[in-house]
Each structure stands twice: as C-alpha cells, then as structure tokens.
C-alpha cells in the first residue's frame, strides 16, 4: 500500500479517536463543555489537511500535528493524579483503550508524516531547476 494512503488512513483514525476521547473527557468533567468553537475549528483544519492537502507539504505538516496531538494524549492523561480512579470507574475500559490506541496510531501517523516530509525535501534544500537550453 502506498505510504500516502497509509498516512491518510492513520491520520483519519487518529482524528476519530481524538474526537471520541475529547468527548469522553467532556462527559467525565475532565474538560469543560464550552460553547467555544475553537476545538471544532481545529477539527476542520485537521480534516482538511488530511483529506484535501494529503499530497502537499502543508498536508503533511497538519498530519504531523495530528499525530503529535494523538501520541501526546496518553502522556498527558497517564501522568494525571486521577488516572487510576478513572480507569476503575464505569466506562474506564473505553477511556484507557482510547489512550492506548491514540498513542499507537498517533505515533504511527507522526512517523509516516515525518517520512513523507523528508521525502518531499526541505524547501530551502531543494536544488534549483536547471534550465535546459535548446529544447
């Protein structure tokens, strides 16, 4: 399977798990349920970068951020003081499972997007195109 297809699928799975986990955080009272649309705007940018800009450098950067956010979620939550209590509470299995899935798929997304960016080349390291004379 092409790396870009794998990256798109991994990014979409990361986004899905992020939305499920953030929703679970709101239901549990860990995050505030605010009428702010900031999280929704971030979701739209993540989806646009994943689905529309997948072949471009900007899409790879956005998917790199998706992977970073997803992989960072378990680190943030598992260091919390109430992690053990939440894990033992009703619905704790889903909470912990999404953290593990986010860590794994987020790390995979991050690695694939970093490889994709490396393959695209850094903009300041590109060699100038040589003009072909006489053609």
Q: How many domains are there within the chain?
A: 1
Residue 88: domain span = 3-121
71-93 average pLDDT score: 84
Is 127 among the domain residues? no
Select the more confidently predicted residue: 103 or 25: 103
Q: How confident is the model at residue 49 (pLDDT cuts 50, 70, 90)?
A: very high
Is 131 among the domain residues? no
Closest CA to 49 of 12, 22, 20: 12
Q: Give the global pTM.
A: 0.78
Least confident stretch, 9-18, 24-33, 39-48, 55-64: 24-33
Q: How confident is the model at residue 132 (pLDDT cuts 50, 70, 90)?
A: low
**Percent of residues, the chain, with pLDDT higher than 90:** 39
The radius of gyration of the chain's CA atoms, rounded to the nearest angstrom, is 19
Distance CA 106, CA 100 (A): 10
Is 71 among the domain residues? yes
Q: Give the helix, strand, coil percentages of the chain, each rounded to 5.
A: 75, 0, 25
Is 133 among the domain residues? no
């Amino acid at each position: 399977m092409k790396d870009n297809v794998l990256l798109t699928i991994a990014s979409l799975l990361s986004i899905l798990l992020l939305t499920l986990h953030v929703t679970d955080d709101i239901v549990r009272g860990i995050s505030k349920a605010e009428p702010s649309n900031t999280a929704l705007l971030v979701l739209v940018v993540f989806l646009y970068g994943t689905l529309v800009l997948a072949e471009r450098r900007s899409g790879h950067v956005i998917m790199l951020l998706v992977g970073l956010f997803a992989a960072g979620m378990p680190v943030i939550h598992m260091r919390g003081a109430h992690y053990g209590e939440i894990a033992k509470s009703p619905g704790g299995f889903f909470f912990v499972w999404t953290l593990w899935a986010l860590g794994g798929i987020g790390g995979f997304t991050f690695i694939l997007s970093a490889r994709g960016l490396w393959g695209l080349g850094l903009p300041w390291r590109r060699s100038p195109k040589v003009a072909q004379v006489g053609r």
